[in-house]
Structure 1
Amino acid sequence: MSVSIHGSADPAFSALADAFADNFAERGDVGASLALVIDGQSVLDLHGGWRDAARTQAWAADSVVNVWSTTKAVNALCFSMLVDRGLCAYDDLVARWWPEFGVHGKDGVTIAMLLSHQAGLCSFRDPAVVEDFYDLPRAAARLAASEPLWPPGSRSGYHAISIGVLAGELFRRIEGRSLTDFVAAELTGPLGLHLTLGLPVSEEGRRAEMIAPPELATSNMTTDLNPSQAAAYLNPVIEPLLPNTAAWRACELVSANGFSNAASLARLFGAYARGDLVSPATLAQATAQRISGLDEVLGVPARWAAGFLLNTDGLYGPSPRAFGHSGWGGSFVVVDPDRRAALAYTMNRMGTDLVGDPRDVALIAAAYEGLVAHA
């Protein structure tokens, strides 16, 4: 069954459009969207394929899909807006806002340390099930009372899901609103985005079904895990098809259950790149490296800013100052502040590569082919 691709692309980015088409023809995409914004202007906005595994529902311009950890880039952006407004500073102690957090050696954890996965709270210490994440106040209290898995500040260890609970509770204590309400009022509404944390029942008609191979299940990760990895991946087990469940869509997890599409993410981070949402000084703070090295949970080198993943080993192309975040299975948003550009890709067929998904590699390389020429 052939795939129809819809949308528009500047001829200068024809290689990027071709790479997107090749993702369907050669690299297994079922449904996906791709967008590139430069200096606030959309130069490419494409979508194609199907929203469901049966390939009966076409992916439309307003279709949305769970973008997993690409949501973390939205979290980082929101915290930078609080800093920009003078409501907090990255060097503030978390315990200033959340006194119960400052136990078991966590009294020195700053907001920047928490957002850069240094707090040692990559999951619960006691046995947990995925439903525990759905009760945010209780989950936050459990994590705050926990002993960290390593001395805070000594290393990073990716807080794959738990950072959504921790950041959500801290944000609410600082700003007063939940991240769900803040995103809706400050970003989705004003910028006209398709972007929500979780997915309201009223928006179900636009949702793409998540598709994943059986081998992607985290329950298959049973050997050769260090204690931090075992906690993050197996306590509780997070399965790739959770976004297809109503309970997952009903909760707020700014770590993993954002629903959006490439056009909205590129528009949001394109505005961020050109200074429409925070000042250049705040953007510099938000994207300053906080820690680097072999990540305790990911098991690969990582450079972390205050919630953003910094370009590591060319993951986000040739620009050393590029940043963003990637999501489980393949989605990503990449921001190039020097070119004031944002590239975003969302899809429903999850890949198995932790780093270097061939779809992502092809898209980022083709985007920079056009960006270099565009400059």
Structure 2
Amino acid sequence: MGTGAGLRSQARGGIAGARGLSGEVAALLAEGIAQGHHLGGQVCAMRDGREALHLAVGEARPGEPMTAAHLLHWFSAGKPFAAVAFGQLWERGLCHLDDPVARHLPEFAQHGKEAITLRHVLTHTGGFRSRLDLEWSAESWTEHIARVCAAKRERDWSPGRKAGYHIASGWFVLAEVLRRLDGRPYDCYVREEIAEPLGLADTWFTLSAEGYRAYGDRLAPIFTTEGERSHPLEFWLGASGAGALLPGASARGPVRDLARFYAMLLGGGQLDGCRLLLPQTVEALVARQRTGLYDHTFGHEIDWGLGFIIESSRYGVETVPYGYGRHASVRTFGHGGQQSSSGFADPECGLAVAIAVNGMPGERVHQRRFLDLLSALYVDLDLA
């Protein structure tokens, strides 16, 4: 594909801390650079709570080597932070899984949405996909919530019995419910109750203007590489994009932070002496809560936990979108981010993984790219 000389530059960023790497992941990342699918990327894998691989390849932007310290966009790979936040509220007795959303967000109870529960939101079976699921917008928080609440339940949709991934709308609902129950905005809650306790110093859902300036060039842009010309996505450039709170899309950080998040979940809610959740809460979040349903957004059968995509290769390992490669165990859970990232945990081998690249080449190319990359990761770690 014709994507310009900048995206065909060699992987000059090199490898940072690639202990135990046999080379297949690095080779595939370099191949993607040569093909113009991305400029560079980061990979981090932990086994049994210890770092097993940490890789930075290529460029963060044309002419600037990628390092392990760059903050990459995670997009929907950050959605599970909301699931963990919900688990914390659940443990505190502030809400329950089968609470109607309207119990905590009364204005949601309109246009057929009165019976939709928090469980339906977390399993993407509520049926209130809207324009918010099709665009990134810099509207105010109040405007976002008003639009979600005004959305209609989709025709012929029985909540809990029909499935369709809600790209953005469901996570606005969860974040607003959290704000009303706890009192803190979602981004502040995640920083104070999840990121900071785990030592995820560079994980953010929003950045202040001061924070944006302080990070400077460590904030790696995301490029669309589909078509004849590549270019950075304008919405995410500048302080205004960095300051926009989109709970289902605005997460960013080095991938090591995301890998540590999954290592915490593998530890039953605890990592390095810091406990965020009880083991039984983690078990509920990552158990199969939705099984065998056709997803009307993705066009494929996909199983779900509460805010987590559960390994679904039983429905077609070569075709299931946003899976975890050819070698992941049936208990693997995690979440992908739009054409760019994935974080997951495989309990069968104690593996926590995060990967992000800075090029979006279109869904077809991306799905093949990550299927091959995540499969190769298991090979590099002698797990396949």
What TM-score bracket applies, with the shorter chain setting the length?
0.7 to 0.9
> What does the per-residue CA deviation read over 1:286-313, in whole Å, with 9 as the maximum and x for residues that have no partner?
1233334221122222212211111112
Residue 81 of structure 1 corresponds to 88
Residue 375 of structure 2 corresponds to 365
Q: Which amino acid aligns with 1:8?
A: G
Matches within 5 A, 1:41-56: 41-52=50-61, 55-56=62-63
Residue 223 of structure 2 corresponds to 211
8 Å contact kept, 1:113–1:119: yes
Q: Distance in 1 between matches of 2:183 and 2:104?
A: 11
1:261 equivalenced with 2:254 (yes/no): yes
> What does the per-residue CA deviation read over 1:184-235, in whole Å, with 9 as the maximum and x for residues that have no partner?
1122222222210033332343111111135499xxxxxxxxxxxxxxxxxx
1:156 equivalenced with 2:149 (yes/no): no
8 Å contact kept, 1:92–1:111: yes
Q: Distance in 2 between matches of 1:166 and 1:112?
A: 12
Residue 39 of structure 1 corresponds to 48
Q: Distance in 2 between matches of 1:298 and 1:216?
A: 26
Q: Which amino acid aligns with 1:257?
A: S
Q: Which amino acid aligns with 1:349?
A: G
* DSSP 3-state at the match of 2:204: strand
Please report how far the alpha carbon of residue 130 of structure 1 lies from its aligned counterpart in structure 2 after TM superposition: 4.5
Which of 178, 184, 204 is matched with 1:196 structurally? 204
Unaligned runs of 5+ in 2: 1-8, 271-275, 318-322
* DSSP 3-state at the match of 1:338: helix
Please report how far the alpha carbon of residue 358 of structure 1 lies from its aligned counterpart in structure 2 after TM superposition: 3.2
Residue 24 of structure 2 corresponds to 18
Q: Which amino acid aligns with 2:48?
A: D
Please report how far the alpha carbon of residue 113 of structure 1 lies from its aligned counterpart in structure 2 after TM superposition: 0.6
> What does the per-residue CA deviation read over 1:318-351, in whole Å, with 9 as the maximum and x for residues that have no partner?
3111111111113100111333321110111113
8 Å contact kept, 1:101–1:145: yes
Alignment coverage as a number of residue pairs: 346
8 Å contact kept, 1:51–1:348: yes
Q: Which amino acid aligns with 1:199?
A: L
Which of 106, 124, 129 is matched with 2:113 structurally? 106
Residue 5 of structure 1 corresponds to 14
Please report how far the alpha carbon of residue 370 of structure 1 lies from its aligned counterpart in structure 2 after TM superposition: 5.2
* DSSP 3-state at the match of 2:88: helix
> What does the per-residue CA deviation read over 1:126-179, in whole Å, with 9 as the maximum and x for residues that have no partner?
x99743x53122221232133211433331121112223222111212222122
Q: Distance in 2 between matches of 1:183 and 1:365?
A: 31
Q: Distance in 1 between matches of 2:304 and 2:17?
A: 34
Residue 90 of structure 1 corresponds to 97
Residue 302 of structure 2 corresponds to 302
User: Superposition RMSD on alpha carbons, in Å?
Assistant: 2.7
Q: Distance in 2 between matches of 1:214 and 1:359?
A: 14
Q: Distance in 2 between matches of 1:171 and 1:266?
A: 24
Q: Distance in 2 between matches of 1:161 and 1:354?
A: 21
Residues 310 and 136 from structure 1, CA distance in 2 versus in 1: closer, same or farther, beyond 3 angstroms?
same
- TM normalised by structure 1 equals 0.83
Q: Which amino acid aligns with 1:159?
A: H
Q: Which amino acid aligns with 1:308?
A: F
Residue 280 of structure 2 corresponds to 281
Matches within 5 A, 1:244-259: 244-259=237-252
Residue 345 of structure 1 corresponds to 355
8 Å contact kept, 1:212–1:241: no
Residues 60 and 369 from structure 1, CA distance in 2 versus in 1: closer, same or farther, beyond 3 angstroms?
closer
Q: Distance in 2 between matches of 1:74 and 1:186?
A: 10
Q: Distance in 1 between matches of 2:239 and 2:296?
A: 32
* DSSP 3-state at the match of 1:51: strand
> What does the per-residue CA deviation read over 1:258-296, in whole Å, with 9 as the maximum and x for residues that have no partner?
111211100111112112032221112112333342211
- TM normalised by structure 2 equals 0.82
Residues 107 and 243 from structure 1, CA distance in 2 versus in 1: closer, same or farther, beyond 3 angstroms?
same
Unaligned runs of 5+ in 1: 218-238
Residues 90 and 339 from structure 1, CA distance in 2 versus in 1: closer, same or farther, beyond 3 angstroms?
farther
8 Å contact kept, 1:63–1:208: yes
Q: Distance in 2 between matches of 1:181 and 1:281?
A: 26
Residues 326 and 129 from structure 1, CA distance in 2 versus in 1: closer, same or farther, beyond 3 angstroms?
closer
Q: Distance in 1 between matches of 2:125 and 2:42?
A: 33
